[in-house]
Amino acid sequence: MKSVVLLGSARDKGNTFTVIEYLAKFLAFDVIDLKKKNIGHYDYEHKNQADDFLPIIRQITDNYDRIIIATPVYWYSMSSHMKVFFDRITDCLTIEKEMGRKLRGKSMVSLSCSNGDDLPSYFENPFRDTAGYLGMTYEGHFHTWIDNKLEDEVKELLKISLSP
């Protein structure tokens, strides 16, 4: 199963990146850093079709079976980079329906990172519900945390949960 990580952090080489870097030790995947892409907010008139969103979705639908959504927890929710990306999935239901249909059957995993293990229970809802709506298999949510370092407990969670 070929995997891609959509990294939604606003900080280069921050805690979420550290988790992904650790995960790369035992799981093969490519990374798309949303911070480095030009993705406009959802627009009902679709005036932003020339940005990076559609090429990213095309890259995902053509090359990957599993999408790992990796985002820091910002104010009890996903990062703004990830939220803009998720809002733009609407393009796959309106102007690019064929591309949207290609998401069916793919797998999605959501992964969050914060400085504690106290994630709100509702955090994963947008990921789980989006995967369901798109006909994707939702493999679950994994919360990680870094308090000065990546904890051994988190390392074990990642090894057990996300390994092939």
Kindly report the CA angle at 41 between 96 and 103, in degrees rounded to 5?
35
Which residue bears the tokens 């059957």?
Answer: 105
Q: How far is CA 159 from CA 28, 56, 74, 107, 143, in A?
A: 13, 27, 25, 18, 13
Q: Does the pLDDT value for residue 93 go beyond 70? A: yes
User: What pLDDT does residue 152 have?
Assistant: 84
Residues 83/112, Cβ–Cβ less than 8 Å? no
Residues 6+ apart with CB under 8 A from 149: none
Are residues 61 and 108 in contact, defined by beta-carbon separation less than 8 angstroms?
Answer: no
* pTM for this entry: 0.93
Which pLDDT does position 51 carry in this prediction?
97
Q: Where do the domains of the chain lie?
A: 3-162
Over residues 28-76, the pLDDT tens digits come to: 999 999 999 999 999 999 999 999 999 999 999 999 999 999 999 999 9
Is the CATH number of domain 3-162 3.40.50.2300?
no
Q: What are the strands, taking DSSP E only, across the chain?
A: 3-7, 30-33, 66-72, 107-114, 137-145
Q: What's the pLDDT at 163?
A: 66
- Is the model more confident about 26 or about 61? 61
